[in-house]
Structure 1
Amino acid sequence: MSGPSISLDGVTLRYGDNLILQQIQTQFEAGQCHVLMGPNGGGKTSLLRSVLGLTPFTGEIAIHWPDPNQTQQAGRVGYVPQKATFEASLPLTVSDFVLLNQTRIPLFWRRKTLQTQRALAQLERVGMAGRCDRRMGQLSGGEQQRVLFAQALLDEPDLLVLDEPTTGMDEQGVRYLEALIHQVVAEGKTVLAVHHDVTAVRRLDAQVHVVNRHIVTSGHHSDVLSPDRIESLFKHYSAKVEAA
């Protein structure tokens, strides 16, 4: 199955008295990599969380799956948060963590099963199969991000949502992730990500949507991220807007 398109109509979000998003009106086309960029506090993560249904908002967000018989909740969605925290003493290995995304059968019943093989295959894709027996809390932040990415890929999602996915990653980890994003898009899936690295976004060949309380501009990165436009696009909308 191919990825969905996503339409936003009049999406507005407030945290108390703070207006975070105002009348967002846009569409993310199916089968492409879409990157949300903009200044800190502009509402990028809040918009991402709204699409996932994790943050209350007014307006309408619709996910249009290619199969008209599917409901909005029927497609497969993979999500990689910006950061996760794991206690070093927690006896949860890398392979155990990835397997938590599978059925509710207890982990100790699933050794050497098909699910375990699939988990190892996804860890191999992100270069972490060799650390499958390490505890999650013993990994670096960038390594944890790679494992989160492997878990998100386990169900072969049609929509992949990433919030600053390269946080804490070294250059090798970044390259693994970028190669996987290219592969996912080549398969016709949809990717929606928050990213801050202009050079990396150019490598992703992404559609860029600059968010600063509203959608400032949208288009191919070659148009939106031209050198003469970057500075003005990333200026703060208001000093009163808090980090999203």
Structure 2
Amino acid sequence: MQGPSIILDNVGLQYGDNTILHGINHTFEAGQCHVVMGPNGGGKTSLLRSILGLTPFAGNIDICWGSKKGKVGYVPQKAVFESSLPLTVMDFILLNQSRTPLFWSRWRNLSKQQATALEQLDRVGMAERAERRMGQLSGGEQQRVLFAQALLDNPDLIVLDEPTTGMDEQGVRYLEALILELVAEGKTLLAVHHDVSAVRRLDAKVHVVNRTLIDSGSVADVLTPEKVERLFNHYTSQTEVMGEIAREQAA
């Protein structure tokens, strides 16, 4: 089953007087890797949360599944685990894999579930750390475990919010290889990313968001030296766009 396309129709998001997103009309094509980039505070994560239905928004978002609705996997930007919490990597994966209370696992045969968990942990290079406590892992290692957890149900749409936060080079390479593998399987990936070099290696479709959609296209078209220079500079050249938003709010 191929992943879905995602159609945004005049999508906007506002908290009080603060406009987060405004007038976004766009289609994320099915079965491809899409990377959302832009300056801090430009609404990238808010756009992902709107697509996931985790925050109220204006306009319409249509996830086009085709013949039947598929599954969604989500990797948040980060999670916090107390170092003293006696929760191992395997425990965490099993908690997300089964509705059976975790303490029952001491008395039940979970070999099949454990094998599935280890398979997904191996895909992100974390199988050897299955018995480590989550709170003892580095932030980058925790992100890799969260990625493994998101793959448990074999999702058709995978949404990643800054998936390489805190990762070392090895972790980044594991995830890049996995993303390419998932796209080859026909899944749709939508990721917020800030590393221009990493996005170039992914050869993804790039969509630049700063409250509204600024640019969209291939890596070669969007990540030119001239555009990259402005990418994390809050797009001061877009003052006319923001002025238009202010005028509409005042109307």
Q: TM-score range by the shorter chain?
A: over 0.9
8 A contact 1:13–1:58 mirrored in 2: yes
Which residue in 1 is equivalent to 2:86?
91
Q: CA deviation at 1:233?
A: 3.6
Does residue 215 of structure 2 align to residue 220 of structure 1? Answer: no
Which residue in 2 is equivalent to 1:42?
42
8 A contact 1:42–1:237 mirrored in 2: no
Larger of the two Rg values belongs to structure? 2
- Identity within the alignment, %: 72
CA 1:237–1:55: 2 relative to 1, 3 Å? farther
Alignment partners' CA distance in 1, 2:50 and 2:109:
37
Residues 105-147 of structure 1: CA distance to partner in whole angstroms, max 9, x if unpaired?
1223355431111001111111111110111001110110000
What amino acid is aligned across from residue 129 of structure 2 in structure 1? Answer: R
Alignment partners' CA distance in 1, 2:85 and 2:170:
27
8 A contact 1:80–1:162 mirrored in 2: yes
SS at structure 1 position matched to 2:96: coil
What amino acid is aligned across from residue 121 of structure 1 in structure 2? Answer: E
Alignment partners' CA distance in 1, 2:136 and 2:113:
24
Which residue in 2 is equivalent to 1:23?
23
Q: After superposition, where does 1:1-244 map in structure 2 within 5 Å?
A: 1-67=1-67, 70=68, 74-107=69-102, 108-109=104-105, 111-236=109-234
SS at structure 1 position matched to 2:119: helix
RMSD: 1.5
Give the stretch that moved more between structures: 111-120 or 28-37.
111-120
Give 5+ residue unaligned stretches, structure 1: none
Alignment partners' CA distance in 2, 1:20 and 1:112:
45
TM-score of the superposed pair, with normalisation by structure 2: 0.90
Alignment partners' CA distance in 2, 1:98 and 1:235:
39
Give the stretch that moved more between structures: 167-176 or 124-133.
124-133
Of Structure 1 and Structure 2, the greater helix share is in 2
TM-score of the superposed pair, with normalisation by structure 1: 0.93
Q: CA deviation at 1:160?
A: 0.6
Alignment partners' CA distance in 1, 2:200 and 2:95:
34
Give 5+ residue unaligned stretches, structure 2: 243-251
Q: CA deviation at 1:154?
A: 1.1
Alignment partners' CA distance in 1, 2:122 and 2:6:
31
SS at structure 2 position matched to 1:160: strand
Residues 142-175 of structure 1: CA distance to partner in whole angstroms, max 9, x if unpaired?
1100000000111111001000000000000000
8 A contact 1:37–1:196 mirrored in 2: yes
Q: Paired residues, what number?
A: 235
Alignment partners' CA distance in 1, 2:109 and 2:233:
52
